[in-house]
Amino acid sequence: MTTTPDPAGDDGDPGHLHGAGSIAASSTATVTDAAADALLPTDGERRLHPLSWLFVLLSQVGQMLVPLVAIALFGASRDDGARLGIVAVALVALLIGAVWRYLTFRYRIGSDSVFVRSGLFERSLRQIPFSRIHDVALHQTLLHRLFGVAEVRLESAGGSKPEARMQVLTLAEALALEQVVRRRASATDAVEAHAQDATAPADQSRTLLALSIGEVIRLGLVSNRGMVVVAGAVALLMQALPDNMAGDLLTRVAREAFGRVSVLGDAWQGQLMAATLLLVLALFALRLLSVVLALVQYHGFRLVEDGRRLGVERGLLTRLRNSVPRRRIQAWTLQEGLLHRLLRRRSLQVDTAVVSRGQDQRSLSELAPIAPAAECDALVRHLLDAGDWPPTQWRPLHRHAWLRLLTPGLVFSLLLAAGLTWWLGAWGLSGLLWLPWAVLAATQHARRAGYAIDDRLLAVREGWWSRHWRFAEIDKLQALRLRRTPFDRCTGMASLWLDTAGAGAMAPSLRIRFLPLADARALLDRLTREVARRPLRW
């Protein structure tokens, strides 16, 4: 893992990320504290960039593209001119709204807050204290780079949308705003900052992790981004095309593809080889698509430590840049799938106390999309100041925990056998062959699952085929629950569920399942006392 000082610290700009294709590299001047204050004075309101209406219009058209195309091609009216007229009216309305937003939007930098004013007939004045801003996200597409502008989002820990979305500012103003927010938020939070963060250098940034092209290709190989895109495209076709046109189109494509590979023979052996070859080609195409998407999304990935903040910059065509205070990290997740293990890699993700909007790529959640296991562990030790990570002593689950872990596999095996028996008769009982695999997976999972706790950190590990480690500082725990199902009561087990702020919908739950009842109650009492006597740290 690279921990050398970033050259950006040498020219007085700790937040200025240099490098080919980076957001900051497209700026011709370094944004120092003095330059930031000069660009964003506190004595007056400022407009957005004069072309901001264009980017708002393009964003709105992008969101309405599918319904507009559907109206133009498959509208209820048989008159092509009428359908195009409806589309034209919709585009004019969007244009008026975009220009209206530019004319009525103002912002001002105060001594301790950012003020945003919008609207004319229904006016809104929003005050956003610097101490409430947890994440500053900069976004640049190719069009943004062409005009030298960037979109800025100020994120907080509450609400269902950003505190402010400035679409768009000149790149110099965007970098200056990021610098001002970082500096003044750090000054406001200095008293509340964690002791580790309070002693971190504030005048130097350094790169903690940089992904090479080879690592990004590995990320594409272990991810399922290609499958997600294909599934989304199929769903879009099913919605956009009328009647059964999408189904017929997909059927014709499948028949054509199978027909081309069925030259291997007409017997069942040839048909089986053709189906196998087609499946292999499809998997290869999906992995290739995943690699391409990974290169587009994670090219030039850099994780940078800047005093008490962490920053991430990535993207080939669209550059995304985020920064968040380290103490806003609420929980951590290390993940390792089968392909990760084959490549000797892991991924490190975090939950932050910042508003969550599903799969919004602008949120800072991935500290290491892919990296060797040793580098992931070193990142955790450095950022958490946890010298004993990973824990050497893991406490086991209940000795019969494998029976509870076997339940889903047992149910699936029975349902599979029942369905196959209804279709194939007695041969359907072969579905029960899934049961030995389910028993093996459950026993192996129970054997390696466990938890570790010390005065500061609680960690849980689960999984066998696909593994993950979930951990959080005890100070960040918000709610504790002891849960027991009827089966748990019969076997003397209990599970602890622990809540933190900012948990993502796709992140594994922070839980300790299938403990002996006495151990679960003792752990619950200990955590309750620890949480009650410590202040909650966001």
Per-residue pLDDT, 254: 63
Chain segment 71-117, per-residue pLDDT in tens: 666 655 556 667 677 778 888 888 998 999 899 899 988 888 888 88
427 pLDDT higher than 70: yes
Separation of alpha carbons 217 and 211, rounded Å: 10
Chain segment 154-213, per-residue pLDDT in tens: 887 655 577 788 888 998 888 888 888 877 766 655 544 444 444 444 446 789 999 999
Mapping DSSP to helix (H, G, I), strand (E, B) and coil, where does residue 533 land? helix
16 pLDDT higher than 60: no
Separation of alpha carbons 112 and 131, rounded Å: 8
> Where is average pLDDT lowest: 257-266, 308-317, 348-357, 436-445?
257-266
Answer whether 18's CB lies under 8 Å from 82's CB. Answer: no
> Where is average pLDDT lowest: 45-54, 82-91, 431-440, 444-453?
82-91
Query: Checking DSSP bridges between strand 450-453 and strand 309-314, what pairing results, if any?
Result: unpaired
Query: If pLDDT is split at 50, 70 and 90, which confidence band does 1 have?
Result: very low
Per-residue pLDDT, 245: 62
Residue among 339, 378, 334 at smallest CA distance from 510 = 334
Between 376 and 260, residue with greater pLDDT: 376
Residue among 182, 228, 223 at smallest CA distance from 366 = 223
Separation of alpha carbons 443 and 463, rounded Å: 11
8 pLDDT higher than 90: no
Query: If pLDDT is split at 50, 70 and 90, which confidence band does 501 have?
Result: confident
Q: What is the domain class of 324-398+446-533 according to CATH?
A: mainly beta
Contacts 24+ apart (CB under 8 A), 12-19: 13/179, 14/202, 14/203, 14/204, 14/205, 14/306, 14/307, 15/175, 15/178, 15/179, 15/182, 15/205, 15/306, 15/311, 15/323, 16/175, 17/302, 17/304, 17/311, 17/313, 17/321, 19/300, 19/302, 19/313
Separation of alpha carbons 348 and 253, rounded Å: 39
Between 69 and 536, residue with greater pLDDT: 69
Answer whether 340's CB lies under 8 Å from 352's CB. Answer: no
Residue recorded with tokens 């940034």 = 205
Answer whether 253's CB lies under 8 Å from 260's CB. Answer: no
Tell me the C-alpha to C-alpha distance, in Å, between residue 136 and each of 174, 233, 379, 392, 476.
10, 32, 22, 37, 22
Per-residue pLDDT, 109: 87
511 pLDDT higher than 90: yes
What mean pLDDT do residues 261-289 have? 72
Per-residue pLDDT, 14: 35
Residue among 402, 486, 492 at smallest CA distance from 444 = 402
Residue recorded with tokens 């290739």 = 288
**H or E element: which one contains 334?**
strand 329-336
Answer whether 510's CB lies under 8 Å from 457's CB. Answer: no
| Domain boundary assignment for the chain | 9-201, 220-297, 324-398+446-533, 401-445
Separation of alpha carbons 225 and 285, rounded Å: 12
Tell me the C-alpha to C-alpha distance, in Å, between residue 35 and each of 32, 175, 182, 204.
5, 10, 14, 18
What mean pLDDT do residues 371-398 have? 91
Per-residue pLDDT, 213: 95
